[in-house]
Amino acid sequence: MVENDFRWRSGFPKIGIRPTIDGRRRGVRESLEEQTMNLAKSVASFLSEELRYPNGQPVECVIADTCIGGVAEAAAAAKKFKQAEVGLTITVTPCWCYGTETMDTDPSIPKAVWGFNGTGRPGAVYLAAVLAAHAQKGLPAFGIYGQDVQDEGNNQIPDDVKEKLLRFTRSGLAVAIMRDQAYLSMGSVSMGIAGSMVNDSFFQEYLGMRNEYIDMSEFTRRMDEGIYDPEEYEKALVWVKKNCKEGPDNNPPHLQTSRERKDQEWETVVKMTLIARDLMIGNPRLAELGFEEEAQGHHAIASGFQGQRQWTDHAPNGDFMETMLNSSFDWNGIRSPFVVATENDSLNGVGMLFGYLLTNTAQIFADVRTYWSPASVERVTGHKLEGPAANGILHLINSGSATLDGTGEQTKNGEPAMKPFWEINEAEVDKMLQASQWRPASVEYFRGGGFSTDYLTRGNMPMTMIRLNLVKGLGPVLQIVEGYSVDLPEDVHNTLDQRTDPTWPSTWFAPILTGTGAFTSAYDVMDNWGANHGAISYGHIGADLITLASILRIPVAMHNVSKEKIFRPRAWSMFGTEHPEGADFRACENFGPMYR
C-alpha cells in the first residue's frame, strides 16, 4: 500500500471543537467547567476514532484552550482555529450560555451546535437561542439535540447524537477539503455536452474552488519532449503487460489494427496516465529532470478529459487513463483514487468528488443509458425480473472509463463492496484485474484507437447515484437515488449487453422505490434524470449528500431518502415544515452560496 505525500502536501482541514459555558462566575461557571470541557474531549475523541482523511489518517480535532463564556474567549478560539487551519466547528454545551457572545460567527465555515439534553442546566435553551441567532444573522447552523434526557455529568454521546455528529462532520470536511482546490479541464467541450461547459462562477461561489485549464495538445508536448518520469513509465508498462488482459477486438476485420499498432497504443495510454496525474497534482521527480514548472501541477482535486472528438479522432482514447486514475491502485500499489470525469463533464466530476469525499472510495462514472422494464426484459430474454429488480432496472454503461473498483470484487462481511484504499488487499486487486478486460476501442467511436474497460459489476451492492445540474435562473440542483446493483443470469446479461456496446463496463442498477413522485417506478427515475451521466458511489449515502448540499446551498430536487434521516441547518424549518423539498429550495435561494 502506498500513499503519495506530495499529493496531499497542503494538508487537511481540522475540526474545531468549541465548549461553550455560562459565563457567570462565583459558582455557576466553576461548577460547569469540567463537564463542559469533558464533553468537548468526548466529541473530539469520537470523531478521531470514527473518521479518516482521504490519505487514511484519522481526522484531527482542535479544542479551544478554554471554555467559551463570552466574546473574548470566542475571539481567542477563533484565532486559534484560524492558525490551526480549522475548516468546520462543532459547539458543545451542557448548559445555558450567552448566545450571540459565544457563537461562531465565521461565515465561511460549516458549523453545528450540540446542546446536551439534561435537566440540571438548560442546554436545550441555549441550543434554541443560539440557533435563532445564527438564523437571524444569516449564518445557518446545524442543531444537534438527543432524544433522551441524560444525567448531569454523563459525557457519553447517545447514538442519535453520534449519527448527526458524523453526518455533519463528514459533510463539513468535504466542504472544507474542496475549498481552495482546483478542477482541471484537460481540453474543453466534448460533443456539445453542457456539463463540459465549465462554469467557473459555480465552482467559485458554491464550492470555493478555482478552475485550471490546459489544451489537450499538452499531452502531445509532454510525450514528445519526454516530460514524464521515464523510470516510472517503464515500470508501469511492464505492470500493464502483466496485469491488464486485452480482450477480443469487436471491430470489423477490415478495421482491426495490427499487433504493432496495438502495442504502440498501449505505450501511449500509459504515458497519458502518468501525464494526467502529473498535471493534476504535480510530481517532484519532474523537477529532478529539469521541468520545475511542470513539477508543480495544478493543485487539482478533480479533473476531466475532453477526449472526443478532437483527441480521439486521431489518438488513443482516454479510457485507460481515466479508469486507472479513478481506481484505488496502479503499478505503484494500492492508493487513494483520483477523480477524473469522462468527456470533461465537470458537473458529473463534482458529483464524483462529493461521493469520494464522503466515503473515501472510488467512484463510477457512467451513462444513464437505458431503462429496461420488466416486460421488455421478459420479451427480449424470456427472463422475469425478481427481487430489487422486479420493477425494472437501469443500465449504467459508458465508453469504458469506470473505476475498476466498480467490479465489486472487493468484499465486506463476505459481500461485494467498494472500500477505502486502506481496507483493500492485494488479493482483491488481483480479482479486480482478473474480472476486467481491455477491449480494443470501437473505431466507430474512436478513430484513433485505444482500449475500453470491460467488466460487469457484481450485484447486491448498496449504491447511490447522483447528478448535479445547472438550471438557468435557478442555479445548481442535485438529484439523488439510492438503490442496489443487480445480478442477472449470464445469458440475460449477454443478450441485453449485446444490444449496446459490449466492450464497455456494465452496472445493472435497481432504484429503491417509494411509490411517490420521481420514485413511483424505475421508469420515473429515468424519466426525471437531469442529464446523460451519473456519478455512482458505494453505499446508501443519500442522507450525507443532503446534508452536504445544504451546507453548499444546493437544493435537492429529487431523492428517496427517508424523512427521519434528513439533516439540514435548523433555519431550514423557518421556510416550512410540511414540504421539506420546497423549504430546501427557498432556504438555499435566501441564504445564497457560501462563497459569493
Residue 66 neighbours by CB distance under 10 Å: 14
CA-wise closest residue to 541 among 519, 522, 556: 556
Instruction: State how far the Cα of 489 lies from the Cα of 508, in Å rounded to an integer.
Output: 12
Binding-site annotation, residues for Mn(2+): 343, 367, 533
Whether a cis peptide bond, with omega within 30° of 0, leads into 309 is yes
Q: Which residues contact 254 (CB under 8 A, 6 or more apart)?
A: none
**Pick the catalytic residue: 330, 343, 428, 487?**
343
Instruction: State how far the Cα of 282 lies from the Cα of 286, in Å rounded to an integer.
Output: 8
C-alpha cell at 289: 529532470
Instruction: State how far the Cα of 312 lies from the Cα of 44, in Å rounded to an integer.
Output: 50
Q: Are 538 and 407 in contact (CB under 8 A)?
A: no
Instruction: State how far the Cα of 114 lies from the Cα of 157, in Å rounded to an integer.
Output: 10
Q: Quick one: angle between helices 542-552 and 580-591, nearest 10?
A: 30
**Pick the catalytic residue: 367, 409, 454, 497?**
367
Q: Are 544 and 468 in contact (CB under 8 A)?
A: no
CA-wise closest residue to 534 among 408, 345, 385: 345
CA-wise closest residue to 478 among 541, 523, 530, 527: 530
Burial class (CB in 10 A: 0-12, 13-18, 19+), 103: buried
3-state secondary structure of 114: strand
* Bridge partners, residue 511, by sequence: 483
Instruction: State how far the Cα of 165 lies from the Cα of 89, in Å rounded to an integer.
Output: 11
* Bridge partners, residue 113, by sequence: 91, 143
Rg of the chain over all Cα atoms, to the nearest angstrom: 25
3-state secondary structure of 324: helix
Instruction: State how far the Cα of 487 lies from the Cα of 484, in Å rounded to an integer.
Output: 10
Size of the chain, expressed as the number of residues it contains: 596
C-alpha cell at 314: 486521431
30 part of the active site: no
C-alpha cell at 520: 413511483
Instruction: State how far the Cα of 543 lies from the Cα of 167, in Å rounded to an integer.
Output: 8
As a 3-state breakdown, the chain gives helix, strand, coil percent values, each rounded to 5, of 40, 20, 40
Instruction: State how far the Cα of 488 lies from the Cα of 496, in Å rounded to an integer.
Output: 10
367 part of the active site: yes
Burial class (CB in 10 A: 0-12, 13-18, 19+), 87: buried
Exposure string (b/e) for 178-207, b if CB count within 10 Å is 16 or more? bbebbbbbbbebbeebebbebbeebbebbb
Instruction: State how far the Cα of 451 lies from the Cα of 440, in Å rounded to an integer.
Output: 5
Distances (CA, A) of 209 to 13, 233, 357, 471, 550: 15, 31, 15, 20, 17
Number of H helices and number of E strands within the chain?
19, 22
C-alpha cell at 201: 462562477
Binding-site annotation, residues: 343, 367, 533
> Catalytic residue numbers?
343, 367
